[in-house]
């Protein structure tokens, strides 16, 4: 339709767009005044929405006027300086502007030919971040001689899934698959590994352990490589085919670091694909002092990390590198006639069709926001951002240790402190649960919990917000101390 008034005019769009940016800027400015957790009950937002769509167009002003009363009460403020839950999901001004530009350009970069800039900017960004992490040449587009490289996925779950599919393809193509394929990870690994196995047909349900083994962890909650090797040997002796292991660099519960070095050595020895899930903690490895967490990465076949967690790039943006892109594309490439084109067939090294590196066909221009972020902050700026959060977490850990009511419940590696009120058994767990609920119900801070083996229920204080300063961390600690007196 092109009748007058059907679309916004460019001038109307300009003014609506400026107003929307104003709205976001004011939202960011006022974040510390809002309760962190959404203040609604299930169904409250639904009740404010008409059951059916409008037949006639509505004025833009009326639509936007509904955001405050309908949407905002149901928002949990992930960008609040007092959000300490889960892992962070940073949104920063350059990232949001990159997202907006990507939406405005509206391209689908499924093939090089469908937007060469989307593909080539992505190639360069993955190489930039590979340099920032000091990854070996095998993971770079420009240094691996076409054997490896990186790609943007939506999430770490997707990165892990496609790494498992690539590993399975490589195992099948090797001709050495005898019995059932078996994948390994630790009891502390993220649920996305078992989910990937469910999608790949290796597990019928989350507790199906016929083709997925969860290896026990050591006292620091890191995978025990001796137990891994024993499990591989037992499976092989029983006629199965071990094919894949996922090591976690920064587990979700406690940021425990599996030894990539030890697991890499034995995955080489036994011919397994090693995937490294550094979804959250990979961001810290842009700082040379934290790169020890990736020691031994040369032996890995793939690695993923999420700039959308702790590197100032709004959701979604997961980076996946592989040193074996042939196995990845062998698992995922299928070319119907309507996608054939000269650029692909030319085989030019820059003419990568990233559709062959992921599950969906279509893909957004996510490299733009990464480009804006890295250039706006510079590598030094991004490092300073990470270091400040780690410093604040160390400070928080010190306060916990100095208070005799509390204990630190797991070794702190970077920006996450696991802690709890002292005590053992169910009663202590219940007190800690009550403490967390009472703190969160104030709206003045938001923390989440986990259960650690051999410890029990623990609170997680993860410091990684764009606006979080020492005063916010201190206020959360004071609140915890105050509420602890009551539970």
Binding region for ligand PLP (CB under 6 A): 87, 155-157, 190, 192, 248, 250-252, 277, 279-280, 306, 318
Q: Find residue 421's DSSP bridge partners.
A: 406
Tell me whether residue 196 or residue 421 sits nearer to ligand PLP (CB atom): 196
CB of 195 to ligand PLP, least distance (A): 9
Shortest separation between residue 14's beta carbon and ligand PLP, angstroms: 34
The smaller minimum CB distance to ligand PLP, of residues 290 and 477, is found at 290
> Pick from 152, 158, 24, 90: which is nearest to 315 by CA?
90
Beta carbon nearer to ligand PLP, 78 or 406: 78
Nearest approach, Cβ of 236 to ligand PLP (angstroms)? Answer: 27
* Smallest gap from residue 92 Cβ to ligand PLP (A): 18
C-beta of 252: minimal distance to ligand PLP in Å?
4
Cβ distance to ligand PLP smaller for residue 247 or 400? 247
- Whole-number minimum distance, CB 133 to ligand PLP, in Å? 16
Q: CB of residue 76 vs ligand PLP: minimum separation in angstroms?
A: 16
- CB 160, min distance to ligand PLP, A: 7
CB of 203 to ligand PLP, least distance (A): 17
Residue 455 Cβ, how far from ligand PLP at the closest point, in Å? 19
Q: Structure tokens of 408?
A: 């630190």
CB of 255 to ligand PLP, least distance (A): 9
Distance in Å, CB of 214 to ligand PLP, minimum = 14
Distance from the first to the final alpha carbon of the chain: 63
Chain center to CA of 250: 11
Nearer to ligand PLP, 169 or 309 (CB): 309
All residues at 6 or more sequence positions from 444 whose CB lies less than 8 Å from its CB, including other chains: 35, 36, 82, 475, 476, 479
Residue closer to ligand PLP by CB (options 90, 248) is: 248
Structure tokens at 194: 């078992």
Q: Which is nearer to ligand PLP, 92 or 306 (CB)?
A: 306
Token readout for 81 is 């300086």
Nearer to ligand PLP, 32 or 155 (CB): 155
Q: Which is nearer to ligand PLP, 221 or 406 (CB)?
A: 221
- Kindly list the distances between the CA atom of residue 180 and the CA atoms of 103, 177, 210, 237, in Å, as whole numbers in the listed order: 44, 8, 9, 12
Nearer to ligand PLP by Cβ, of 37 and 85: the residue is 85
Q: Which is nearer to ligand PLP, 76 or 155 (CB)?
A: 155
3-state secondary structure the chain: CCCCCCCCCHHHHHHHHHHHHHHHHHHHHCHHHCCCCCCCCCCHHHHCCCCCCCCCCCCHHHHHHCHHHHHHHHCCCCCCCCECCCCCCCCCHHHHHHHHHHHHHCCCCCCHHHCHHHHHHHHHHHHHHHHHCCCCHHHCCCCCCCCCEEEEECCHHHHHHHHHHHHHHHHHHHCCCCCCEEEEEECCCCHHHHHHHHHCCCCCCCCCCCCEEEECECCCCCECHHHHHHHHHHHHHCCCEEEEEEEEECCCCCCCECCHHHHHHHHHHHCCEEEEECCCHHHHHHCHHHHHHHCCHHHCCEEEECHHHHCCCCCCCEEEEECCHHHHHHHHCCCCHHHCCHHHHHCCCCCCCHHHHCCCCCCCCCHHHHHHHHHHHHHHHHHHHHHHHHHHHHHHHHHHHHCCCEEECCCCCCCEEEEEECCCHHHHHHHHHHHHHHHHHCCCCECEEEEECCCEEEEEEECCCCCCCHHHHHHHHHHHHHHHCCC
Considering the complex, state which of residue 194 and residue 421 has its C-beta at the smaller distance from ligand PLP. 194
């Amino acid at each position: 339709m092109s009748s007058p008034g059907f679309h916004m005019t460019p001038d109307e769009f300009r003014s609506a767009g400026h107003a929307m940016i104003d709205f976001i800027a004011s939202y960011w400015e006022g974040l510390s005044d809002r309760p962190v957790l959404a203040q609604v009950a299930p169904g409250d937002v639904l009740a404010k929405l008409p059951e059916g769509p409008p037949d006639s167009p509505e004025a833009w002003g009326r639509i936007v006027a509904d955001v405050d009363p309908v949407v905002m009460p149901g928002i949990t403020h992930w960008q609040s300086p007092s959000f300490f839950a889960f892992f962070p999901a940073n949104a920063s001004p350059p990232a949001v502007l990159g997202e907006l530009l990507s939406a405005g350009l509206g391209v689908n970069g499924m093939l090089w030919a469908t937007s060469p800039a989307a593909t080539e900017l992505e190639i360069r960004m993955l190489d930039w971040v590979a340099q920032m992490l000091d990854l070996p040449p095998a993971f770079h587009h420009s240094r691996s001689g076409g054997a490896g490289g990186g790609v943007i996925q939506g999430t770490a779950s997707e990165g892990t899934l496609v790494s498992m599919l690539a590993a399975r393809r490589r195992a099948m193509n090797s001709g050495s698959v005898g019995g059932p394929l078996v994948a390994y990870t630790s009891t502390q690994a993220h649920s996305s590994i078992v989910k990937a196995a469910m999608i790949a047909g290796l597990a019928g349900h989350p507790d199906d352990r016929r083709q997925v083994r969860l290896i026990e962890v050591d006292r620091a909650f890191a995978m025990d490589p001796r137990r891994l090797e024993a499990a591989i040997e037992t499976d092989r002796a029983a006629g199965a085919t071990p094919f894949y292991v996922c090591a976690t660099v920064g587990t979700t519960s406690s940021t425990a670091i599996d030894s990539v070095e030890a697991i890499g050595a034995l995955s080489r020895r036994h011919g397994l694909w090693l995937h490294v899930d550094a979804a959250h903690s990979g961001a810290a490895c842009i700082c040379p002092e934290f790169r020890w967490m990736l020691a031994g990465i040369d032996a890995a076949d793939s690695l993923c990390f999420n700039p959308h967690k702790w590197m100032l790039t709004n959701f979604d943006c997961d980076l996946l590198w592989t040193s074996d892109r042939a196995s990845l594309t062998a698992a995922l490439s299928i070319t119907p006639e309507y996608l054939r084109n000269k650029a692909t067939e030319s085989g030019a090294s820059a003419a990568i069709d990233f559709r062959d590196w992921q599950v969906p066909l279509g893909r957004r221009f996510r490299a733009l926001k990464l480009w804006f972020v890295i250039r706006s902050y510079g590598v030094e700026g991004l490092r300073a951002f990470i270091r400040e959060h780690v410093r604040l977490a160390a400070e928080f850990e010190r306060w916990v240790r100095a208070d005799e009511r509390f204990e630190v419940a797991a070794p702190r590696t970077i920006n996450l402190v696991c802690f709890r009120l002292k005590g053992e058994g169910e009663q202590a767990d219940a007190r800690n649960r009550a403490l967390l609920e009472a703190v969160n119900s104030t709206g003045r801070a938001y923390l989440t919990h986990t259960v650690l083996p051999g410890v029990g229920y623990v609170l997680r204080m993860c410091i990684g917000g764009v606006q979080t300063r020492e005063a916010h961390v201190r206020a959360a600690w004071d609140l915890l101390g105050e509420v602890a007196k009551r539970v």
